[in-house]
């Protein structure tokens, strides 16, 4: 069975600093996809970044990057030069590429608060 766990409930950081949010996952699939999504205060959920399990390079999109540690089943999200508008809830998610088909499961979320 697939499972995604985010243990950090809430993080507060000063603007322009770097923050890392943790996520660990469980899957029986040998190939899988990992995602991070952002939910704003309005409730809107948007896709941020993806890591394919077969890729060794960490994905980077804008000021978002990933720290993929496959042996530890860990996929951390790093946000550099944080801005006030980065304040939101961040969800980690995963989907298997084989047996579990299109089933996509989410973690519990981490609240990020960026202050001046």
Partner 1 sequence: GGIITQTPKFLIGQEGQKLTLKCQQNFNHDTMYWYRQDSGKGLRLIYYSITENDLQKGDLSEGYDASREKKSSFSLTVTSAQKNEMAVFLCASTGRANTGQLYFGEGSKLTVL
The site for partner 1 (CB under 8 A) is made up of 6, 33, 35, 37, 43-47, 50, 52, 91, 93, 95, 97, 101-109
Nearest approach, Cβ of residue 52 and partner 1 (Å): 7
For partner 1, which is the closer residue by CB, 42 or 116?
Answer: 42
For partner 1, which is the closer residue by CB, 18 or 40?
Answer: 40
Distance CA 10, CA 95 (A): 25
70 in helix, strand or coil?
Answer: helix
Nearest approach, Cβ of residue 104 and partner 1 (Å): 6
């Amino acid at each position: 069975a697939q499972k995604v766990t985010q243990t950090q409930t809430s993080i507060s950081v000063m603007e322009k600093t770097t923050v890392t949010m943790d996520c660990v996952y469980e899957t029986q699939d040998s190939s899988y996809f990992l995602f991070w999504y952002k939910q704003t205060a309005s409730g809107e959920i948007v896709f941020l970044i993806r890591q394919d399990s077969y890729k060794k390079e960490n994905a980077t999109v804008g000021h978002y990057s990933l720290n993929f540690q496959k042996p530890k089943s860990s996929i951390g999200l790093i946000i550099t030069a944080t801005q006030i508008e980065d304040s939101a809830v961040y969800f980690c998610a995963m989907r298997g590429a084989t047996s579990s088909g299109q089933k996509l499961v989410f973690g519990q979320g981490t609240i990020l608060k960026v202050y001046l």
